[in-house]
């Protein structure tokens, strides 16, 4: 379980630059609704071995400054509500602005760690100018230049120190947790209601460890699991635009707290930007994944429609295409139990442990037939393979020159593991270790 860190601040102070720097990957996603490319807003980061999710609250708001005043308050409130720590970015070039003061006023009331980062400090003069930010009443500040990363180390050191220690999950219920995630209106609630509609299946309702998500312990096909529902929450006061952002933050929490993600998408909209985001988030968190295509009853069918549709989705998923895709209709209850059965299979794949002797017996001959290509005239010899004792499948390949094994070959190994041992729906990690 990672913590969630939110980055707040007014426009153009460098939130996205810092965000991109920390997740080391530029992710711009086209938003299907408004047709604008928005820089995207969440990713994983880690520092000194502590992993956290990063949310950039900027970019959700397009509009003039006065519109922004109200919006930024909403964003900050959202961040305060959902995040474990907050980075507040200000800009040394403009000095303290009225909007900064507003944000600071909101943040001073919070009993969560807040880190004031003064950005664009790339010389001594500016470092002196930064002193005026003491006026915001948030105590110490960190001077950074997010464009080249200077100063971010100190900021991150302080940040990860302040993040809550993640308690090992209490052992009280070792039931697998299935989270139902997807964009608003894809049919998450209806899916859960369709499943749970028959009262007798419900064992208990536990208030979820995930804030305001409901965990329902559910028993079907003699298999018991917790269903993490992120769908049922609608805050009356929040307007539609926030819900998009809100549902994203919700999904982040749900995904981090589950074993298998059921990613629901609306067949009439396809595997669009936000769904892809959720998919990759689940994949980066190394969770089991099942993709459910809902509202299949609304799609015009020709002979090959389902195959074609599936092909398109798999293309978008590359390189992680070994994922079950189930076409459902929540309305007509078509294949909704198939969806759960599939999730159960994926859960079993994720917890699968393969004996070392079996691994070596099956894989070493494959490797002998296709050894890693020689690199700089050096030949890599893989001697031994074992599965690591981690909650999800990770494999160590022991060899003489681990640094010479390239990604395409690792993918080749992964594909073989998948084919030989069935890891459908589960991300696999492969490590090359020195023998």
111 labelled ligand-binding: no
11 labelled ligand-binding: yes
204 labelled ligand-binding: no
5 labelled ligand-binding: no
**Structure token pair of residue 230:** 């992120």
Rounded to 10 degrees, the C-alpha dihedral 74/75/80/81 comes to 70
Report the distance separating Cα 187 and Cα 184, nearest Å: 8
**Structure token pair of residue 62:** 């397009």
CB neighbours of residue 292 within 10 Å:
28
Report the distance separating Cα 18 and Cα 328, nearest Å: 40
Long-range CB pairs of 21-29 (<8 Å, 24+ gap) are 21/146, 21/149, 21/152, 22/54, 22/152, 22/156, 23/54, 29/273, 29/274, 29/276, 29/277
311 labelled ligand-binding: no
Going across the sheet that includes 382-387, the strands are: 382-387, 394-399, 429-434
139 labelled ligand-binding: no
296 labelled ligand-binding: yes
182 labelled ligand-binding: yes
Total residue count of the chain as it appears in this document? 435
CB-CB contact of 176 with 347 (8 Å)? yes
56 labelled ligand-binding: yes
232 labelled ligand-binding: yes
CA distances from 128 to 132, 142, 254 (A): 9, 12, 43
188 labelled ligand-binding: yes
197 labelled ligand-binding: no
Q: Measured in whole angstroms, how far is the alpha carbon of residue 235 from the centre of its chain?
A: 23
122 labelled ligand-binding: yes
Report the distance separating Cα 200 and Cα 417, nearest Å: 40
189 labelled ligand-binding: yes
131 labelled ligand-binding: no
CB-CB contact of 395 with 429 (8 Å)? yes
12 labelled ligand-binding: yes
233 labelled ligand-binding: yes
196 labelled ligand-binding: no
119 labelled ligand-binding: yes
295 labelled ligand-binding: yes
58 labelled ligand-binding: yes
Residue whose pair of structure tokens reads 């460890």 in the numeric block:
209
Exposed/middle/buried for residue 345 (C-beta within 10 Å: 0-12, 13-18, 19+) = middle
Helix (H) or strand (E) holding 266: strand 260-266
424 labelled ligand-binding: no
59 labelled ligand-binding: yes
127 labelled ligand-binding: no
120 labelled ligand-binding: yes
- Alpha-helix runs per DSSP H in 321-406: 336-350, 356-369
184 labelled ligand-binding: yes
SS3 state at 391: coil
What are the counts of helices (DSSP H) followed by strands (DSSP E) for the chain? 12, 18
360 labelled ligand-binding: no
Exposed/middle/buried for residue 258 (C-beta within 10 Å: 0-12, 13-18, 19+) = buried
272 labelled ligand-binding: no
Annotated binding-site positions: 9-16, 56-60, 119-122, 182-189, 229-233, 294-297
Annotated binding-site positions for GTP: 9-16, 56-60, 119-122, 182-189, 229-233, 294-297
């Amino acid at each position: 379980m990672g913590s969630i860190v939110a980055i707040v601040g007014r426009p153009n102070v460098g939130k996205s630059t810092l965000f991109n720097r920390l997740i080391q990957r530029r992710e711009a996603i086209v938003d299907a609704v408004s047709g604008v490319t928005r820089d995207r807003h969440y990713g994983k980061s880690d520092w000194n071995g502590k992993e956290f999710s990063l949310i950039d609250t900027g970019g959700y708001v397009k509009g003039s400054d006065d519109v922004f005043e109200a919006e930024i308050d909403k964003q900050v409130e959202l961040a305060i509500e959902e995040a474990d720590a907050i980075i507040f970015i200000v800009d040394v070039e403009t000095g303290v602005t009225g909007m900064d003061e507003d944000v600071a006023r909101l943040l001073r009331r919070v009993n969560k760690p807040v880190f004031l980062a003064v950005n664009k400090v790339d010389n001594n003069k500016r470092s002196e100018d930064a002193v005026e930010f003491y006026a915001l009443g948030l105590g110490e500040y960190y001077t950074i230049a997010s464009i080249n990363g200077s100063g971010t180390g100190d900021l991150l050191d302080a940040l990860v120190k302040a993040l809550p220690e993640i308690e090992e999950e209490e052992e009280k219920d070792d039931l697998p947790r299935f989270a139902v995630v997807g964009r608003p209106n894809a049919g998450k609630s209806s899916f859960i209601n369709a499943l749970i509609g028959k009262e007798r299946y419900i064992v208990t309702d536990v208030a979820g460890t995930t804030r305001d998500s409901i965990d329902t312990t559910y028993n079907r096909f003699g298999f018991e699991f917790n269903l993490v529902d992120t769908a049922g929450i609608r805050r009356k006061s929040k307007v539609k635009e926030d819900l998009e952002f809100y549902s994203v933050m919700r999904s982040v929490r749900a995904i981090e707290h589950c074993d298998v993600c059921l990613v629901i998408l609306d067949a009439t909209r396809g595997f669009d930007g936000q769904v892809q985001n959720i998919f990759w988030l689940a994949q980066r968190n190394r969770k089991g994944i099942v993709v459910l295509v809902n509202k299949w009853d609304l799609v015009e069918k020709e002979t090959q429609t389902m195959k074609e549709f599936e092909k398109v989705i798999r293309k978008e998923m590359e390189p992680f295409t070994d994922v079950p895709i189930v076409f459902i209709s929540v309305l007509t209850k078509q294949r909704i139990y198939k969806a759960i059965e599939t999730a159960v299979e994926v859960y079993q794949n994720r917890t699968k442990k393969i004996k070392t002797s079996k691994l070596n017996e099956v894989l070493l001959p494959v490797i002998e037939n296709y050894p890693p290509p020689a690199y700089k005239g050096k030949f890599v010899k893989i001697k031994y393979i074992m599965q690591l004792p981690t909650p999800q499948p990770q494999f160590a390949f022991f060899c003489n020159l681990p640094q010479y094994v390239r990604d395409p070959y690792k993918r080749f190994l992964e594909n073989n593991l998948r084919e030989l041992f069935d890891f459908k729906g589960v991300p696999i990690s492969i490590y090359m270790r020195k023998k």
